[in-house]
Structure 1
């Protein structure tokens, strides 16, 4: 069974010492391709460099997470433009709005989000999107640009069916993480996945974040320090998504992998 992890923060410092082993565990678990998320200028550069070291297996996005929007400078757009010219960079993002913590001022987040959408429209690349506690403004901005965008995915979706349908109506794909495994917080997304058509659904870990709460790292052979999530848990997340959508897990793996390749415009890895 093959899986594709569309959201892996593999440049995170917690992977610095054992990334090779992390990738080996992912391969052993059937994770054939991974998309490394760029979250600011430095991390986007690192994501591209890492993907370039693993052609055909790793790809990268380039962008500024809304938390990092305040670091977007006059030179940042040229850096993103240069990164986007590399074959392993396949999307603009992570970008969007996060009004939950407001690590960057909301007005700055909105301005930087719009610049990302303009760049994605110009370069004809899909956008890798983040939204938290900002649905209304996020949707308003996105709607203004949607006709000019080739594609977009609401990454790490954690909300309910109503918001899922709103994003589907905007023509977005939706990425689901191990949040669905959380008995405390996951009910909304468990309900939401039932309204997402198979051809719009993708699966991701968002590692090292969001370790599924029903996983004991020690029992599955993972390092227990910091309870770090890893791409090798894609099958675990996929089984949960299959359960709550009422789909066969093998069919889900095949379809979500096909959808991911079509969305990011990449080929299957050579065997």
Structure 2
């Protein structure tokens, strides 16, 4: 499947890798209503296709500079409120769909990353940033509060004090500090970002999709769960994985001293 959905490109390959690309590079990939709906369409397509990995990127100089303020400024009063509810409704549902996939998501971020762009970067399981990228929350600078999960992700990644520092002061931080606070997994030389992100996504595509999905859910649940119930959840997930095709293939490959063939064990791709 290959196409463009309202400013968002979606390319779902026969090998199970989905490339989701923000295609408003001339506008810094700012999120307007059509782009938010395009992200939801792309997430839904990934879910329906049962993809094995997702690579999220943005065309142009910047990954995503946040909401499209030029579009927002065309509305006033209740019309503005309703418009923003429509934008965030589609964007937030896209994040929910991506979060419940078994497929891990890799984000490749470059240039300026602001507002909802931070939420998209934080939502990925592995976030690679160009070494010259920069990040700023930006919301309160225009009198807005956060969306795109930013007020949920940042305190969990950076801690509440650092999160509030970034959210209240709108301090711009370099990619190196974004790694330090946990917003970014690692930095890559700007010229190598696209290749390294693709390589990382391809490695994940070839991994055990079911185990990846269980791991994503365990990590998310563990952030708020008590230890005792979480240990029980881990035990059940491990037992289920061990008796499944992927678990059997993984152990057989280990004992046979060969690479595992997970894709044939657990995917239509």
TM band (smaller chain):
0.3 to 0.5
Task: Identify which of structures 1 and 2 has the higher relative contact order when contacts are C-alpha pairs closer than 8 Å and 6+ apart.
Answer: 1
More helix by share: 2
What TM-score, normalized to structure 1? 0.36
What TM-score, normalized to structure 2? 0.36
